[in-house]
Amino acid sequence: MLRRLTIRNLAVVDDLQVGFGDGLNVITGETGAGKSLLVGALRLLLGERADRSLIRTGESQCTVLAEFGLSHPQTVNTVLVELGHEPCEGGLLIMRRIITESSSRNLVNDEPVTLQVLKRLGEVLVDMHGPYDHQSLLDPVKQLEILDAFGEVQEERDRYAVAYRAFRDTMDQMERLQGGSEEEHTRQIEFLTYRVEEIERANLSMEEEAEVERDHNQAAHAQEMMELSGAAAQALTEGEGAAFEGLTVARMSLQRLQALLPEAAAWSDELEQAITSVQEIVRSLEAACDGWDASPERMQWLDERLTTYRTLKRKYGSTVEEVLEQLETWREQLNDLKSRDQRLEELAVEKIEKLRGVREAGEALRARREMVADHLSECITKSLVELGFEHGFFDVTLEDKDPASNGMDVIEFGFAPNAGEEMRPLRAIASSGEISRVMLAVKAVFADQDQIPVLVFDEIDANIGGEIGGAVGRKLAQLAGSHQLLCITHLPQVAACGTTHLAVAKRVDEGRTFTEVNLLDEETRPLELARMLGGNETGEVSLAHAKAMLGQQTLRF
């Protein structure tokens, strides 16, 4: 769950710390008080791009921090480890974002992370639903994603995707060969021929590249290397005070010492090894000097060869391996172009075979989707009944279409809100209040199988009132049995269902605007509900009504 949200210098917030509880946390307050700033701050922590204008006037940076206490941290830890970070200990996850005029720092448990890490964590931590998100329900692509997620059809969808990619690869090859005039094909053959021949003439290899770079470096420093080698050899064997001369004298002394001191025999053997080592080093230095070819001709060849490698890597790939991979690709393309008619015939046979595979996978996917569609219809219809559509009915229909990346199905969410009304596409419903309730019904159905711990609803009850508001509140409270919910609401019927009630207020002090959040208790909560019921007037009637609403919720839950 989200335990605590700390905000500093964000818009009209100077320094704010908000604690949240289990279950349904309702957030209320007058329009413009800053309720949505809490959601906005949370969105920043979950990877949304920062607008520097959010920094409070007169301040150089703003900070947002969220503390999560996770009873089941396995999913979050999997994401952290996968992205190269330490898992959280004891289920404690602290996410922090510091935004300045020129940069943004992101930290998870005090470890720097990228914005992508925040986004990935957000996907498994928090499900955000804003006031306009219900419009996504009208998108057929989103509808298909909802159906597939509900039915857990990923295995069938993956099999279809593999078959479809293979089919599209064949189609792309055919389109390349069929497209363009004969003149364009000739130009393409000439272009590929030039590239293939250029690389083939170079006769590249990764082993030779390493050798050329090494030899070029040695040839460039040959004079210095020879001087250093000669100096080393001279110090070892030539001239007065050379190492070899000193070792020879020492050997003669030790040989005489053996007659007087038996231990000297072992020292003499060790010294003999040292003399042999010095001789071997000198021979190696001389052989190395003899093996270095620093002639102008050799240097010119190495320069040209190194230039060849660098030129081809600059043109065709960052490494020799990539250049050789491109060579194989272009060889295949060139072969296809030169034998275009024959290759088109082969591809036509491949197309038929791969299309058969696509249709088999697509039909298996459709069969699974049709089974899931019936179950999803039943579950959402049941949830809609609990939201006030006593005679409403939700339907999911599938129709055939030509193969596409997401299958061979056209989906349509249908809805009949009242008894006696015909089923209409969801996109044909004009009432945003109805669509909002459908979205809540979908969320409720998915919550049963969803492992995301925190759900955030920003004014999901827009354009809803009366008894329907109570039904929405009860549905949210039901959802809160398995998830922590944060709900911004203007409806007292919804607010009365909360287990934790936070009131947002705005004040002006010495010409500056400040936002504050207060945790309401048994005395202050009825006053806030009364304000919501009666506007600015909180008379005895609205206060009594507020207390009655809270009493009903206590009895119900």
- Asked if residue 258 and residue 212 are part of one domain, the reply reads yes
> What pLDDT is stored for residue 244 in this prediction?
65
| 386 pLDDT more than 80 | yes
> What pLDDT is stored for residue 163 in this prediction?
96
Q: How many Cβ atoms from other residues are within 10 Å of residue 182's Cβ?
A: 8
- Asked if residue 355 and residue 219 are part of one domain, the reply reads yes
292 DSSP assignment: -
Strand, coil or helix: what is 165?
Answer: helix
Query: What share of the chain has pLDDT > 90, as a percent?
Result: 32
- Asked if residue 509 and residue 457 are part of one domain, the reply reads yes
Q: What is the CATH number of the domain that holds 19?
A: 3.40.50.300
> What pLDDT is stored for residue 173 in this prediction?
87
- Asked if residue 285 and residue 167 are part of one domain, the reply reads yes
pLDDT: which is higher, 250 or 527: 527
Largest Cα separation within the chain, whole Å, is 125
Q: How many Cβ atoms from other residues are within 10 Å of residue 247's Cβ?
A: 17
Confidence of residue 440 (pLDDT cuts 50, 70, 90): confident
**Does 402 fall in a domain?**
no
Separation between Cα atoms, residue 500 and residue 26, nearest integer Å: 6
Over residues 382-401, mean pLDDT:
89
For 151-200, what is each residue's pLDDT tens digit? Answer: 889 899 999 999 999 999 999 988 887 876 778 878 888 999 999 999 99
| 418 pLDDT more than 70 | yes
Query: H or E segment at 505?
Result: strand 500-509
Contact 489, 477 (CB under 8 A): no
> What pLDDT is stored for residue 26 in this prediction?
93
424 DSSP assignment: E
Contact 55, 9 (CB under 8 A): yes
Separation between Cα atoms, residue 389 and residue 462, nearest integer Å: 17
**Does 551 fall in a domain?**
no
> What pLDDT is stored for residue 326 in this prediction?
93
> What pLDDT is stored for residue 235 in this prediction?
65
**Does 48 fall in a domain?**
yes
Burial of 319 (0-12, 13-18, 19+ CB in 10 A): exposed
**Would the pTM count as exceeding 0.85?**
no
Separation between Cα atoms, residue 297 and residue 307, nearest integer Å: 15
For 103-150, what is each residue's pLDDT tens digit? Answer: 889 999 999 999 999 999 998 898 888 766 666 778 888 889 889 988
Average pLDDT of the chain to the nearest whole number: 84
Pairing of strands 92-100, 61-69: antiparallel
- Whole-number Cα distances in Å, 476 to 3, 137, 469: 19, 19, 11
**Does 37 fall in a domain?**
yes
Hey, what are 191's tokens? 């272009």
Contact 310, 212 (CB under 8 A): no
Tell me the Cα Rg of the chain. 38
- Asked if residue 194 and residue 115 are part of one domain, the reply reads no
- Asked if residue 293 and residue 186 are part of one domain, the reply reads yes
Separation between Cα atoms, residue 372 and residue 149, nearest integer Å: 10
Q: How many Cβ atoms from other residues are within 10 Å of residue 297's Cβ?
A: 8
The total domain count for the chain is 2
Q: Amino acid identity of 202?
A: A
Q: Which domain holds residue 318?
A: 157-365
3-state secondary structure 55-108: ECCCCCEEEEEEEEECCCCHHHHHHHHHCCCCCCCCCEEEEEEEEECCCEEEEE
For residue 206, list its beta bridge partners: none
Among 308, 339, 365, where does a domain finish?
Answer: 365
Over residues 458-476, mean pLDDT:
79
Strand, coil or helix: what is 262?
Answer: coil
For 349-373, what is each residue's pLDDT tens digit? Answer: 999 999 999 999 999 999 999 999 9
Hey, what are 319's tokens? 């490494």
Phi, psi of 125, rounded to the nearest 5 degrees: -105, -45
Separation between Cα atoms, residue 277 and residue 282, nearest integer Å: 9
Q: How many Cβ atoms from other residues are within 10 Å of residue 466's Cβ?
A: 10
